[in-house]
Copies of this chain bind each other. A is one copy, B any other.
Amino acid sequence: MNTLGSFTIQTFTGLSAFRTGMFRLLRSVSGITVAQIDEEVAKLLELKLRLGGDDGKHQFVLKTPKGTRDYNPKQMAIREKVFNTIVSCFKRHGAETIDTPVFELKETLTGKYGEDSKLIYDLKDQGGELLSLRYDLTVPFARYLAMNKISNIKRYHIAKVYRRDNPAMTRGRYREFYQCDFDIAGHYDPMIPDAECLRIVSEILSELDLGDFHIKVNDRRILDGMFAVCGVPDDKFRTICSTVDKLDKMCWEDVKNEMVKEKGLSEEAADLIGEYVSMQGGMDLAVRLLEDPKMSQSKQACAGLSDMKQLFSYLQLFQVTDKVVFDLSLARGLDYYTGIIYEAVLGPAGATPPPPQAGAPKAEESLSVGSVAGGGRYDGLVGMFDPKGRAVPCVGVSVGVERIFSILEQKVEAEKVRTTEIQIMVASAQKNLLEERLKLVTELWNAGIKAESMFKKNPKLLSQLQHCEDSGIPLVAILGEQELKNGMVKLRTVATREEVDVSRADLIEEIRKRTSTV
């Protein structure tokens, strides 16, 4: 509601006028999108509701909490389809699944997220333990591994996480949102599990049919080595790293400015970094940098670069090199990464929208919708929970499905999405056949057929048929006195309006035959 901060709304008539003016204002600003207008409208309507509606009397605020939403049946149908695709992929790769509570002990989350900790939802102290809602699925996973002394597992976990972030709901950014995580914990030969994570992202994004995409990879050790050889002081690695992380949202000049003016880095160091972070490539780039006179001086960078070379050799076997780009500008925010990091972006490789010009408004919102999956290696996290500090190396990926839902919802908006799976409706043209309809529908349920009948004594045939059209039910079984006498049913195909008489004994077989291909 921050856009409204400086206005005082005195009357509801005033609000209305204000709204109209606000719309004009919004439309006149160049570059504003329909989605942004929708969001402003939603905010204003919410404000109106809070103020008590047009009639001025206080009323109950009928809404979901800020940054959250209900899923209606159509959205659920899309969600189910997306989850099925993702889970099939995880299962194809042999993952087990676990679940953890929606809240954790507050201290479990403490010290894991750096600055972002302020976004954690805490529960009220009602006596007993202090609790917080989970912020991601990675920390609960590490807690689970340490608690159960598991040193070896390939698991997926699909669940909601919670962040008191600034929501941008029309662009798929919520305070309550799903994460679909796949992680491999355990000691293996280097880079094979890492390569499988990239293969998985590639399979999922291909199967969801979201258009072209590519996956950027980098390595924390390469970043740290690069900072070292460019002359960044040790104690500035993390803060410079988080500035580099903004390169997908800010142009280089702004990033450099932040490094030099805000974070006190020397201009020379910044320029050296600038050269490196513009580099993109594949295995060739890793090979080249291993021979780079500066880079090769850092042991860390060399370790990262050798692993990168190895990674690309596995990616070749896994047939995904065309989707993966080694990109030295990729940094990622989270503190716990220790090795390879990656991020999947919609759009073809190399066609990343160019960073905006210096001084131009930050395009964070419109660009960030491009990132749909991310992850990396975090070899130290489990050790933070283990009483003996025993480390379990882990690598994983998180698919950000809310953004994918947004894209697919827009895509299928025009199409008809079925929200039930009913195969047949039991209908009647005549009165007083409720009992016979319910008897037949029970027979169908007994046979496992998805069937329904209207719960009215004497519905009109037309409204029964209309219901089938509306909700995509493919078949209708029509009962009448004549059919009942002869032990028959009139079977109607909704799409073609064709009707045939089927004997009651053959009905179930006939429905199965017809709906197995529908």
Q: Which of A110-153 touch B at CB < 8 Å? A: 121-126, 128-129, 131, 133, 143-144, 146-148, 153
Which A residues from 64 to 116 make CB contacts under 8 A with B? 64-66, 68-73, 76, 79-80, 91-105, 107
Tell me if A514 is interfacial: C-beta within 8 Å of chain B.
no
Beta-carbon contact of B101 and A69 below 8 Å: yes
Checking B122, B148, B438 against A314 with a beta-carbon cut-off of 8 angstroms, the contacting residue is B438
Establish whether residues B121 and A126, one from each chain, have CB atoms under 8 Å apart when the complex forms. Answer: yes
**A98 engages B123 (CB within 8 Å):** no
Pair A76/B96 contact, Cβ less than 8 Å = yes
B450 touches A148 (CB 8 A): no
Check A148 against B72 for contact (C-beta < 8 Å).
Answer: yes
In the complex, are the beta carbons of B199 and A131 less than 8 A apart? no
A455 at the interface (CB under 8 A from B): yes
CA of A319 to CA of B442, assembled, Å: 8
Whether the pair A64, B100 counts as a contact (CB closer than 8 A) is yes
Is A189 part of the contact surface with B, judged by Cβ < 8 Å?
yes
- A–B pairs, 16, beta carbons within 8 Å: A63-B105, A66-B128, A70-B98, A72-B98, A73-B98, A79-B99, A94-B420, A94-B422, A102-B133, A103-B176, A122-B126, A123-B133, A184-B455, A193-B455, A314-B438, A317-B438
Given A63-B147, A122-B124: A189 in contact with B456 (beta carbons within 8 A)? yes
> Are A68 and B103 in contact (CB-based, < 8 A)?
yes
Least CB distance, A3 to chain B, in whole angstroms: 16
CB interface residues, A 267-326, toward B, < 8 Å:
314, 317-319
Q: A60 to chain B: which residues have CB within 8 Å?
A: 107, 385, 387
B residues near A153, Cβ cutoff 8 Å: 73
Whether the Cβ atoms of B65 and A317 lie closer than 8 Å is no
Nearest 6 A/B pairs, CB to CB: A73-B96, A68-B101, A188-B455, A122-B124, A71-B99, A94-B452
Which interface class (under 10, 10 to 19, 20 to 34, 35 or more) fits A? Answer: 35 or more
Bound CA–CA A102/B65 (angstroms): 10
Q: Does A62 contact B (CB under 8 A)?
A: yes
Q: How far is the CA of A399 from the CA of B93 in the complex (A)?
A: 33
Are A105 and B148 touching (Cβ within 8 A)? no
Q: How far is the CA of A342 from the CA of B436 in the complex (A)?
A: 26
Contact for A62 among B59, B385, B457, CB less than 8 A: B385
Would you call A164 an interface residue if the criterion is a C-beta within 8 Å of the partner chain's C-beta atoms? yes
Verify if A266 is at the interface (C-beta below 8 Å from B). no
- Would you give the shortest CB distance from A148 to chain B, in whole angstroms? 7
Nearest chain B CB to A451 CB, angstrom units? 7
Please tell me if the beta carbons of B65 and A164 are within 8 angstroms of each other in the complex: no
CA distance A358 to B164 in the complex (A): 53
B residues near A91, Cβ cutoff 8 Å: 420-421, 450
Residue numbers in B under 8 Å from A420 (CB-CB): 91, 94-96
Q: Does A160 contact B (CB under 8 A)?
A: yes
Contact: A126 with B452, CB < 8 Å?
no
Measured between beta carbons, the chain B residues less than 8 angstroms from A456 are: 188-189
Residue A449 lies at the interface, judged by CB distance under 8 Å to chain B = yes
Q: Does A211 lie at the interface of the complex (its beta carbon under 8 Å from any beta carbon of B)? A: no
Contact check: which of B63, B96, B160, B449 meets A92 at CB < 8 Å?
A: B449
A128 to B125, CA, bound (A): 18
Beyond A105-B61, A438-B314, A438-B318, is A155–B73 a contact (Cβ under 8 Å)? Answer: yes
Known: A123-B121, A188-B455, A319-B446. A101 touches B146 (CB 8 A): no
